[in-house]
């Protein structure tokens, strides 16, 4: 047997070995991606205008899933950098119970924390009061046609939004400004920045802390769906127009924007 053939058998992998190495590398990449997506980061697309102008429809976010995680041991607290949830922070969360009951449990939502556990929340004419004091609310916008109540809780204590859970309707306390809602322990009162059209805690109640997924991190892509191509171009014309539309409809100034 020649030296070249002997070297191929003993020192270098053949075609089968190369395929095996490639499959192994692919498996390692898949495991890494699944780990990152399952435990560290998650992608999320803004579907509605409820967080405008801070977040726009078509923003593609990466969500930091450990930013708000609750440590279960001293080791977790040391290894995972958690932040205490404070007023004004934006949270991404799975559907709260009132929404999940309508078979929307697979959806993910994003809102801003307004009321903390134990605080009272009162909204009069879209102005928020926390423990009786008016909240400085720089992120609030009022855009579009109003579709949610401007006042919360309802003045008569009866005219609740139908989806508002009954178990929270007794969290009403009387204040000098009228009835206010006390946020239960282990919950947060969340609102969308665009108060006119946001389905939030005024409708589905306070958000349980264990429903929070994480914190929006960066906007890895933003796509403006309002800019369309030529509808009369036909399928061939539409396909040819894809690269141009991709360039024209991408909001380049929002790429890698940090939240």
Kindly indicate whether the domain formed by 38-222 is annotated with CATH number 2.10.109.10.
yes
Question: Which residue in 194, 191, 203, 88 sits closest to 142, CA to CA?
Answer: 194
Note the pLDDT tens digit of each residue in 196-211.
999 999 999 999 998 8
Note the pLDDT tens digit of each residue in 76-130.
555 555 678 999 999 999 888 777 666 666 778 899 999 999 999 999 999 999 9
The predicted pLDDT at position 162 comes to 83
Global model pTM greater than 0.85: no
252 class by beta-carbon count within 10 Å (0-12 exposed, 13-18 middle, 19+ buried): exposed
Greater confidence, 46 or 14?
46
Greater confidence, 231 or 169?
169
- The mean pLDDT of 219-243, rounded to a whole number, is 64
Give one DSSP letter per residue of 163-198, joined into a string. TS-GGGTT-EEEETTEEEEEPPTTEEEEE-SBTTT-
The predicted pLDDT at position 250 comes to 86
Spans of all domains in the chain:
38-222
Cβ-based neighbour number of residue 100 at 10 Å = 15
């Amino acid at each position: 047997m020649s030296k070249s053939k002997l070297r191929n058998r003993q020192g270098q992998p053949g075609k089968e070995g190369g395929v095996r190495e490639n499959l192994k590398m692919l498996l390692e990449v898949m495991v890494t991606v699944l780990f990152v997506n399952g435990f560290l980061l998650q992608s999320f697309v803004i579907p509605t205008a409820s967080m405008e102008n801070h977040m726009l429809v078509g923003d593609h976010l990466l969500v930091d899933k450990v930013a708000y995680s609750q440590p279960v041991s001293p080791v977790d607290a040391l290894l995972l950098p958690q932040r205490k949830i404070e007023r004004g922070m934006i949270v991404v969360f799975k559907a709260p119970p009132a929404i999940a009951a309508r078979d929307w449990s697979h959806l993910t939502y994003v809102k801003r924390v307004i009321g903390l556990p134990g605080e009272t929340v009162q909204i009069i004419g879209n102005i928020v009061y926390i423990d009786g004091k008016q909240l400085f609310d720089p992120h609030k916008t009022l855009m579009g046609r109003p579709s949610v109540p401007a006042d919360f809780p309802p003045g008569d204590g009866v005219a609740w939004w139908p989806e508002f859970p009954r178990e929270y309707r007794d969290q009403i306390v009387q204040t000098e400004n009228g009835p206010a809602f006390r946020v239960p322990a282990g919950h947060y009162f969340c609102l969308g920045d665009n108060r006119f059209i946001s389905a939030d805690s005024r409708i589905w109640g306070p958000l349980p802390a264990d429903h929070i997924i994480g914190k929006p991190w960066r906007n890895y892509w933003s796509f403006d769906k309002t800019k369309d191509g030529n509808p009369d171009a036909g399928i061939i014309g539409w396909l040819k127009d894809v690269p141009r539309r991709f360039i024209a409809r991408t909001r380049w100034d929002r790429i890698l924007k940090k939240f």
